[in-house]
Amino acid sequence: MPTDSATEAVELIACHECDQLQRLHYPPRARVVRCCRCGAEVYRYHPDALNRTLALTVASLLLFIVANAFPIVAIDMQGNVLSTSMFGAVAHLWTTHVPIVAVLVALTTLIVPSLTLLLLIYLLGLMQLGRRPPGAAELLRLLHLSRPWGMIEVYLLGILVSVVKLMAYAAVIPGVSLWALVLLIPLMAAMLGSIHTDLIWRRLEQLK
């Protein structure tokens, strides 16, 4: 059970994959603590995790805005130049007869990533200012719940596959958004990997 993060303590921790009860020296000496029985990651620690997450989130948000503001790709098909943006692609699916697919694509590529970024900036930004963000528990739960549904890296692969498919028929012009996405994917992965829910909670308890 957590104590003040400034002092060294031995805590009990249960593996979330095999329920093995084990001792954890807090703060741990290793960055990643693995379960002694099944090898699952039971604890990830970085003393400056919150600042890193906030910095990476701000950078990701800027790139995400760029990725949404410009067209992903354009094609030149016998003189007809056509282009689409991330939102345009979803809107087109909605107007043709597959609204369920449109909702899923919108959720996984637009709603969940933007929600993740905005929630983290709100929570970590206020905590940085030394205030406890109102609704922190509910928002952190929402963040935890929505996490598996952000699939922006799969989307980038989908764009690349589409580009290769189209190259046989038309001249393909990559848009600004595509380059923004190429930069955004590793940044977003680093950001998601740096999120440290337990440390956020320890800080929140101190801010009470």
Partner 1 sequence: MTTAQRMRLANCHDCGLLSRLPGGHGHCPRCGAALHFRKPASLAKTWAYLIAAIILYIPANTLPMMITGSIVGTQADTILSGVVYLWTSGEWPLAALVFFASIMVPLLKMIAILLLLITCQRRSRWQPQQRIKLYRLVEFVGRWSMLDIYVVTILAALVQVQSLASIAAGPAAVAFAIVVVLTMLSAMSFDPRLIWDPIDEEQEASGENHDTSH
2 vs 186, which CB is nearer to partner 1? 2
- Answer left, alpha or beta for residue 154, where phi above 0 means left and psi between -120 and 50 means alpha: alpha
Pick the piece of the chain touching partner 1 (CB under 8 A) from 51-59, 119-127, 137-145, 180-188: 137-145
Among 90, 181, 185, 195, binds partner 1 (CB under 8 A): 90
| Strands 73-77, 171-174: pairing kind | antiparallel
Q: Give min distance, CB of 37 to partner 1, in A.
A: 7
Cα–Cα dist 123/127, whole Å: 6
According to CB under 8 A, which one of 169, 186, 206, 207 is a site residue for partner 1?
Answer: 169
- Residue 28 as a binder of partner 1 (CB under 8 A): the answer is yes
Residue number, 70 or 201, with CB nearest to partner 1 = 201
Least distance between partner 1 and beta carbon 23 (Å): 4
| Alpha carbon distance 28, 52 (integer Å) | 18
One-letter identity of residue 89: A
> How many angstroms separate the CA atoms of 121 and 127, rounded?
10
**Residue 200 and residue 123 in contact, taking contact as beta carbons nearer than 8 Å:** yes
Tell whether residue 198 is a contact of partner 1 (CB under 8 A). Answer: yes
195 scored as a contact of partner 1 (CB under 8 A): no
Which ranges in 74-196 belong to alpha helices (H)? 86-95, 99-106, 112-128, 136-146, 152-166, 176-194
Question: Does the footprint of partner 1 cover residue 36 (CB under 8 A)?
Answer: yes
* Out of 164, 171, 176, 207, the residue judged to bind partner 1 by CB under 8 A: 164
How near is the Cβ of 21 to partner 1 at its closest, in Å?
5
